[in-house]
Amino acid sequence: MLALDLGEPVDELSRSLWAANERLAFESLHDSFVRSTADGSLSRESYSHYQQQDWQYLQVYADAYEAACAQASGDSESLAVLEGLYKGVREEQRLQLASLKRQGLEVSDTSTQTAATRAYTDFLTSVTAEGLIPLLTAMAPCIRLYGFLGARLKAAYPHAKHDFSEWVSTYSSPAYLAEPIKHERLLARLHQGPPTARMQTLYTRAMQLEAQFFQAQPHQAPAPRPVGLLISDFDDTMVKGETTVAIFEAALAHASEDGPGMTKQQRRAKWDELVASYIQERAALLQMLLPEEPLLQPFKMQDGGFNCEKTHCKPTYQATAGVGGRVNLAWRLKSGSMQTRWSAKGPTVHRWCPLEHWSDLGALLEADIGIVMGGNSTLARVAAAAGITIQPLITAPRTEAPPPGTLFQTGSWWEVAAFAAPAKRPPPGASAPAQANSTRNEVPTSTSGLESRGAARAQGEAQPASGVAQAGAHPQVPTVLTVAGSDSGGGAGIQADLKTFQARGVFGTSAIAALTAQNTRGVAGVHVPPADFLTAQMDAVLEDMDVHAVKTGMLPTVQAVHAVADAVQRHKVTALVVDPVLVASSGHSLADSDVAHVIVDRLLPLATVVTPNLAEAAALLGDSSPIQSLRGMEAAARRLHQLGARCLLVKGGHLASRGDAHEAVDVLFDGSTMQHLSAPRVDSRNTHGTGCTLAAAIAAELAKGLPAAEAVRAAKEYLSAALRSSADLQIGKGAHGPLNHGYATNRWGGGPSKRIDLRVYGVTDAASNAKLGRSNADAVSAAARGGMTIVQLREKLANGGNFLEEARAVIAAARPHGVPVIINDRVDVAMAAGADGVHVGQDDLPVALVRQLMGPHTILGVSCKTVEQARRAEADGADYLGVGAVFATPTKDSRVIGYEGLQAVCQATALPVVAIGGLNAQNAADAIHAGAQGIAVVRDIFANSDAASATQQLRAVVDQAIAKLS
């Protein structure tokens, strides 16, 4: 018999997260790739492909544990657990690599990742910067799911010996099953109480990506045969609504017809008589079935009251035994509402009917697939006496009839759903989608979804599997349609949307509502095509492709708005992002005066997300006065929601009255929760098309499966990174230049790594500055005036919030002098403050991971002592190296490498090197002669009351040494 709790969480926090995603766990368990791995029918090619993809995922998973170790460095207890888990993943990776080498295979590099693998690794990498608890939450489903799969499959195939049985043995071993418990208990210790909404979102997303990872493996199982299922729910009680109770109530109603004058006491006596008769017959039957066992305890029937309404059914109950050495138990109920034929043949399940107890075994054996839900001791003994085999449901054959006398057992209705309607796999040669559409995030909380799903299939409706839209034999690619105006300058409109779609990993299509003659200086003219041609464009796309989201931008006429609304309704578009573009950033009107109220009437009720700026929000509401405060933004969001929009993002980038000049704040309202979404302001002229880009990115994330609020956050992060990366672009002669939408792959001149000047690298010393009665920002400003070329903000004792404020102040002091600001160690602070870069040591986050998090344009420095460390940092994406300590220093306990060590590293790498440790005006020239491009200085600048003069002297020495070399 199956142990129903195998491989599931033990602590309350993780049980809560797991329970909300049990459907996805069973979906993975019943994936044909997983089943075929467990029973040995998988092809070697498919398994090898899986191993290669899994090895790449494990690499990122191990990096995530390493990042968690860095974040828990001050907590020795947590650190010990994390280090043990990290070693476990590395051992798992070693075993995987050894298996591949035995097959003569090499591990593929990341360029050969499937979309599903990349989606999962990108997700995990992106969560690293959120902190330890979110990171552990996002990692938990992987380690738990593999334990769940291993334990369930080992119980189902305990004696299997084949090429892949080692996989099951590994993940069902006591050593492995202890790992998820360690992880989950650590998470529960760090987070007291129920899971937050963010934790639930991360956990569910990871479970979705796990299921998609298995679906993406190249395995095509034989088509399952049509079957009908009969499911019997076993326990040791009878409650109202179950079959036997229904029979009793029907009999009681029938008796009431014979004696309409029955009192409540008489009905109670009749009920007791029926119960007593049932218990007596049940005991006699069990005595016949199990003559060697003592009489069982009386059966308990719970009486929660009963219904005496008249019915038109006349029940008879029959129980016989010993036919052909098998239990042959059945009951018959003549009724129009309850079927006597339990399974109807069809493509999948047509209906299921819950029975209750061991007397249903005969009917179960007659079904195509008989499923026992739960179990009790009586069932086990009766089944054994009758020669009935009960096996885990995962072993139920899908292409042939089960062996005679075999039933299957589960403890979850979600497993029944996974068995009855397994997720469809992509065709051979195609990859599963990197992310699913929005229905993938809907996690049912009851079994009602199973009933409606079965009913829909019974009527022949096409149902998406696992929330992924199906398109026959075609692989799923998230697809978005933009309906907007064309910008001949390429910065906004259709052009910006399509660039954003490509950057966010979705396929972009377009319907052009207007053609504009514009550039960075402004709009010179607008041409509007006929509305029927706009309709023809939309229909051409929507009738041919599976479009997962539509985004609207410039709709210049009332006719265009009506055309879009009609198309959205006609094609049943489920995700619509409305960017109500009414005025260009140059001030040129882009829509007729009456367009705004038609957008309100026709598009807002259809919209998933609406993204007005302050002026557009006022126009939609018909207000003549502008919005001038956060409170006004909130009020506008509420009023627009009342007009029909589901989710409002009121953009506050142009809000002039905000006291915090460092932050741009948007307001997000979904009808129940009002959120303020802030991001550091980016000082840049290149802001043309930011509204189009944001709305397009939201549509892309909706198409990939994120719920609205998460899609908005992801889109804002993308836009902020694009703004930072585009700050130095010089395209066009006007006031508003375009963005580099593809900043992650295309570095267009002037990027930070192209202008790193390491000559005088100042490292702040908060304690020294405090003794001198000045702030870090004041000292940095003075040093910058004296010729400091780059500064690192080092704050070992400040917490996150204080460090962030300090970083912003130092950035504000340094930027007017053109001095880049580097944050020591803290990637999160660097990203939040909009710093120019980050510097990490050998014990901090992995360099490759930091590069992924920070993007290609930020400066990334790495501390090194050896040639090997330098070469690894260079390969992982470092922009410069801090090499030393050259001399002993009071600010840091570090092994001294001297000039020889410095020179060895400088000669071994092409990266620029700044010498660190004990450098000053007296020895700076020797460091330059050894190959360094500059010196890092702490006390000689920031412990000097005249930081400007001290820096000026250092700069002169360094410049003179460099001049001699040249």
Q: What is the mean pLDDT of the chain?
A: 78
Q: What are the angstrom distances between the C-alpha of 556 and each of 88, 566, 835?
A: 60, 16, 40
Give yes or no for residue 137 having a pLDDT over 60.
yes
- For residue 825, count CB atoms less than 10 angstroms from its CB and return exposed for 0-12, middle for 13-18, buried for 19 or more: buried
Active-site annotation holds for 261: no
Smallest Cα–Cα separation from 68: which of 171, 10, 140, 13? Answer: 140
The secondary structure of 861-929 as a DSSP string is EEEESSHHHHHHHHHTT-SEEEE--SS-BTTB-----HHHHHHHHHHH-SS-EEE-SS--TTTHHHHHH
948: preceding bond cis by omega (within 30 degrees): no
Catalytic residue among 651, 704, 716, 865: 651
The pLDDT value recorded for residue 484 is 95
Residue 307 Ramachandran class (φ > 0 left, ψ -120 to 50 alpha, else beta)? beta
Lowest mean pLDDT segment, chosen from 195-204, 743-752, 788-797: 743-752
The pLDDT value recorded for residue 754 is 45
Give yes or no for residue 506 having a pLDDT over 70.
yes
**Across residues 601-612, what is the average pLDDT?**
93
CA 387-391-394 angle, to 5 degrees, is 155
**Across residues 893-898, what is the average pLDDT?**
77
**Across residues 796-807, what is the average pLDDT?**
76
The pLDDT value recorded for residue 577 is 97
Smallest Cα–Cα separation from 27: which of 151, 213, 225, 181? Answer: 213
**Across residues 659-682, what is the average pLDDT?**
80
The pLDDT value recorded for residue 140 is 94
Active-site annotation holds for 499: no
Give yes or no for residue 568 having a pLDDT over 60.
yes
**Across residues 119-136, what is the average pLDDT?**
87
Q: Are 377 and 395 in contact (CB under 8 A)?
A: no
Lowest mean pLDDT segment, chosen from 46-55, 107-116, 421-430, 458-467: 458-467
Give yes or no for residue 494 having a pLDDT over 90.
yes
Q: Give CA–CA dist 620/752, Å, rounded.
A: 41
Strand 549-552: give its sheet, edge to edge. 522-527, 507-519, 479-487, 549-552, 576-578, 609-610, 648-650, 663-669, 674-680
Q: List beta partners, residue 516.
A: 487, 526
**Across residues 742-757, what is the average pLDDT?**
59
Q: Tell me which amino acid residue 594 is.
A: D
The pLDDT value recorded for residue 351 is 28
Lowest mean pLDDT segment, chosen from 69-78, 140-149, 547-556, 778-787: 69-78
**Across residues 737-756, what is the average pLDDT?**
65
Catalytic residue among 142, 647, 692, 906: 692
Give yes or no for residue 330 having a pLDDT over 60.
no
Lowest mean pLDDT segment, chosen from 450-454, 541-545, 590-594: 450-454
Active-site annotation holds for 689: yes
The pLDDT value recorded for residue 355 is 35
Q: With cut-offs at 50, 70 and 90, classify the pLDDT of residue 340.
A: very low
Give yes or no for residue 114 having a pLDDT over 70.
yes
What the block records as the tokens of 439 is 């229905």
For the stretch 169-179, pLDDT in tens is 989 888 888 89
Q: What are the angstrom distances between the C-alpha of 576 and each of 546, 550, 644, 711, 748?
A: 14, 5, 13, 12, 33
| Positive/negative CA dihedral, 620, 623, 624, 630 | negative
| Positive/negative CA dihedral, 567, 570, 573, 579 | positive
Q: Tell me which amino acid residue 504 is.
A: R
The pLDDT value recorded for residue 72 is 86
**Across residues 655-667, what is the average pLDDT?**
66
The pLDDT value recorded for residue 662 is 61
The pLDDT value recorded for residue 827 is 87
Q: With cut-offs at 50, 70 and 90, classify the pLDDT of residue 456.
A: very low
**Across residues 401-420, what is the average pLDDT?**
85
Strands (E) located in 324-429: 326-332, 369-374, 389-392, 406-410
Q: What are the angstrom distances between the C-alpha of 470 and each of 219, 434, 436, 475, 672?
A: 18, 14, 11, 8, 33
Q: How does 913-934 read in b/e, with b if 16+ C-beta sit within 10 Å?
A: bbbbbbbbbebbbbbbebbbbb
Number of CB atoms found within 10 A of residue 801's CB: 9
The pLDDT value recorded for residue 659 is 47
Q: What are the angstrom distances between the C-alpha of 338 and each of 296, 334, 367, 802?
A: 31, 8, 16, 68
The secondary structure of 146-211 as a DSSP string is HHHHHHHHHHHSTT--STTHHHHHHHHSHHHHHHHHHHHHHHHHHS-SSPPHHHHHHHHHHHHHHH
The pLDDT value recorded for residue 319 is 24
The pLDDT value recorded for residue 491 is 92
Q: Comparing 768 with 109, which gets the higher pLDDT?
A: 768
Percentage of the chain beyond pLDDT 70 is 76
Lowest mean pLDDT segment, chosen from 292-296, 579-583, 594-598: 292-296
Give yes or no for residue 658 having a pLDDT over 70.
no
Q: Comparing 915 with 345, which gets the higher pLDDT?
A: 915
Q: What are the angstrom distances between the C-alpha of 553 and each of 524, 533, 560?
A: 19, 17, 11
Kindly give, in sequence order, each residue whose CB lies less than 8 Å from that of residue 843, ignoring residues fewer than 6 positions away: 70, 73
Active-site annotation holds for 314: no
User: What's the longest Cα–Cα distance across the chain?
Assistant: 119
pTM above 0.85, yes or no: no
| Phi, then psi, of 751 in degrees rounded to 5 | -65, 160
Catalytic residue among 479, 690, 693, 889: 690
Smallest Cα–Cα separation from 698: which of 712, 684, 686? Answer: 712
Lowest mean pLDDT segment, chosen from 330-334, 489-493, 765-769, 822-826: 330-334
Catalytic residue among 553, 689, 732, 786: 689
Lowest mean pLDDT segment, chosen from 386-390, 608-612, 761-765, 920-924: 386-390
For the stretch 201-259, pLDDT in tens is 889 899 989 998 998 888 777 777 766 776 666 654 555 545 555 556 666 665 555 45
Q: Give CA–CA dist 256/253, Å, rounded.
A: 5
CA 210-216-217 angle, to 5 degrees, is 105
Active-site annotation holds for 931: no
The pLDDT value recorded for residue 430 is 45
Give yes or no for residue 311 having a pLDDT over 70.
no
Residue owning tokens 């069990």: 286
The pLDDT value recorded for residue 104 is 74
Q: Give CA–CA dist 821/815, Å, rounded.
A: 8
**Across residues 366-390, what is the average pLDDT?**
77
Q: With cut-offs at 50, 70 and 90, classify the pLDDT of residue 634.
A: very high
Q: Give CA–CA dist 69/83, Å, rounded.
A: 7
Catalytic residue among 375, 508, 652, 691: 691
| Positive/negative CA dihedral, 654, 659, 663, 665 | negative
Q: With cut-offs at 50, 70 and 90, classify the pLDDT of residue 623.
A: confident
Q: Give CA–CA dist 694/615, Å, rounded.
A: 17
The pLDDT value recorded for residue 759 is 95
Active-site annotation holds for 308: no
The pLDDT value recorded for residue 163 is 85
